[in-house]
Structure formats: C-alpha cells, structure tokens
Amino acid sequence: MQVKKIEELDRISVDEFRDAEKIPLIVVLDNVRSLNNIGSVFRTSDAFRVEAVYLCGITATPPHADIHKTALGAEYSVRWAYFEKTEDAIRKLHDDHYTVYALEQTKGSVMLDAMRLEPRSGYALVLGNEVKGVSQSVVDLCDACVEIPQHGTKHSLNVSIAGGIAIWNFFLQIKGSAEL
C-alpha cells in the first residue's frame, strides 16, 4: 500500500481549525511540569479537534520554544486559557455546564474501556502532574474518575500517553462511534 504524501492528507490550516466544529471536550492540565508533555497534549488535541486546553498552576503556557518542540504549531491552533488554581478551572467548567472527569487511579474510578459517556453539553478531562497525578483537592471537585487499566511493573503511564489514549476514547464516544 502506498504511503500518503503530506499533501494527500488534506489537513486544515490554523485559520480553518479556529472556525471548524470542535468536539465539546476541554482538556485540563493540573500542574503538568514537562514542556514536552504540554506540547504533546496540544498536538493530540489538535488531531482530535478538542475545544480547548486549560493550563493550570505550574503548567507553562505558549509561546515557549520547548512546548513548540512537541506541539509543532498545535499551540497556535488549539484554544487555551491559564488558571492559577486548577480548582478555579473546575469551578468555571461546572458554571459552564461541563461534566468533569479526572484521569486518575482512585477508589471507585471507572475503567476507560467500561466508560460510557452520558449525553451532556460538554466534557472536561483533567490530566495530572507527572509524579503526584491529579491533586486530591481537584479530584474532590470532579464528577467522576476514569482510569486506564494497567498490568505492568510501573505505577502509571506517561501523562501525555495516558491523555492521548483517553482523549481518543472521549473523541470516539462523543462522535458516537461507541462500537470500537
């Protein structure tokens, strides 16, 4: 099979992206430390037409050369906002009628492959710090927790990988492809 050339991929421009319909999903970064991870979340959010990324606490904001290295320009297509406290971002999301999920291993979390999104006006997905995960005070404000089942030696996946897997699943369910 012939590998497609870049011009055969029919990608949209940054201006077209801004005007394009997005999925009603906002990704929240709760004190994500690594600029690589932040950039990577932008690139994934661009691919799945995520509505916005909320950068919170110590999470760095664009423009930044090291975010650009992994975002590769997606930090200019995907809308973002900064909040000093992640808790304030969650409160704003609730005011705006978003249902907020933390991606975290908690007592009572739903496994990602068993998650069935109820029809809602909008969804948010909170990704946590590389070492501490999503803060307990943030989890306490979320509507539910979702967890990726893991069977290896390490206690967690890299946050940008876990985020990628979860964003893909939210994308499929929001688009109605519930039959993956």
Location of structure tokens 């000093």: 84
Distance CA 166, CA 173 (A): 11
Shortest Cβ 148–its own copies spacing (Å): 7
Return the amino acid letter for 14. Answer: V
Residue pair 125/27 in contact by the 8 Å Cβ criterion: yes
Shortest Cβ 57–its own copies spacing (Å): 17
Distance CA 119, CA 138 (A): 23
Residues found near its own copies in the complex (CB under 8 A): 1-4, 6, 9, 11-14, 16-17, 20, 36, 40, 43-49, 70, 72-74, 77-78, 104-109, 113, 133-134, 136, 139-140, 145, 148, 150-155, 157-158, 160-162, 164-165, 168-169, 172, 177, 179-180
Shortest Cβ 25–its own copies spacing (Å): 13
Whichever of 39 and 54 has its CB closer to its own copies, that residue is 39
Location of structure tokens 């249902």: 99
Return the amino acid letter for 147. Answer: E
Distance CA 129, CA 29 (A): 8
Shortest Cβ 160–its own copies spacing (Å): 6
